Amino acid sequence: MKKLAIGKLEGKSAIVTGSGRGIGREIARMLAREGARVVVNDLDAEPANETVSALEAEGAEAVACVGDVAAPDFGERIVAQALDSFGGLDIIVNNAGYIWNTTIQKNTDEQWYAMMDVHATAPFRILRAAAPFIREAAKRERAEGRRVMRKVVNISSISGTMGAATQISYAAAKAAQIGITLTLAKEWGRYNVNVNAVAFGSIATRLTQVWTSEKATVNIAGKTLAVGHSAESMDELSHLTPLGRQGSQEEAAGAVYLLCLPESDYISGHVLVCSGGLNM
């Protein structure tokens, strides 16, 4: 096992939902490389365990909490996992999510609630479950004359800040994440918690892949969902983006990483747009 150097997050423990693959996996890696112990989550056991093994191979401490973030008991379960495994909780990254796109006339109630459940209700439940520990820890640290900063980063989207055609459910849920962020920044400032959001633009993941000979789909929770773009629409999107391309998963994770470091200790209630300059 490779030994990590002392990092800026040494001794911290983190929850990163949706971290078995994609952007979430890169977030978990970046936090772990700075010394954080990480609770890895994915809907499926295989990617979650693979990420845990990869982090451990680099000398980090990590555990898996497999399951659907939208399950009613999940918030309590993942917070308990962090406290039982690491004895504390310092960083919460609400990253898990997916897209389910249609125009409004085709948008079903099931689709609406699925987007709300994963992008808004799940983060709410996780943060609510973490509240007792955060309040008591802050009270104890204040009595000891110490100030310990904790971090919450909610993953939103420019669909939530500006809207996007065919994404009414997704955009509404991502906008709700921003409301959660701004409200909790006001409630939890007294507990020394920085609460911010990152709104992604077009990032290269399995959900935004370019179609080849036929449209792409993914299977999520038993549903086969259309994802990605045609080459023509991707070219148009890249043209509209000042940096001229999609962002990488590492670049997306880097925006979250910045808001977890001690250098961001006086940044709270902020929505950081990570879009390569795309603003439409």
pLDDT per residue as tens digits for the range 179-213: 999 999 999 999 999 999 999 998 887 666 565 66
One of 170, 191, 257, 266 is an active-site residue; which one?
Answer: 170
* Tokens 């365990």 belong to residue: 49
C-alpha distances in Å from residue 163, one per residue of 91, 191, 248:
29, 33, 22
Residue 256 has pLDDT above 90, yes or no: yes
pLDDT(5) > 70: no
170 catalytic residue (yes or no)? yes
pLDDT value at 140 more than 70: yes
Distances (CA, A) of 148 to 137, 141, 185, 264: 9, 7, 16, 13
Q: How far apart are CA 187 and CA 64, in angstroms?
A: 30
The domains of the chain, with CATH numbers, are 13-274 (3.40.50.720)
pLDDT of residue 215: 64
pLDDT at 1: 46
Say how far residue 219 (Cα) sits from the centre of its chain.
20
- Residue 231, CB half-sphere, CA atoms under 13 Å: how many? 3
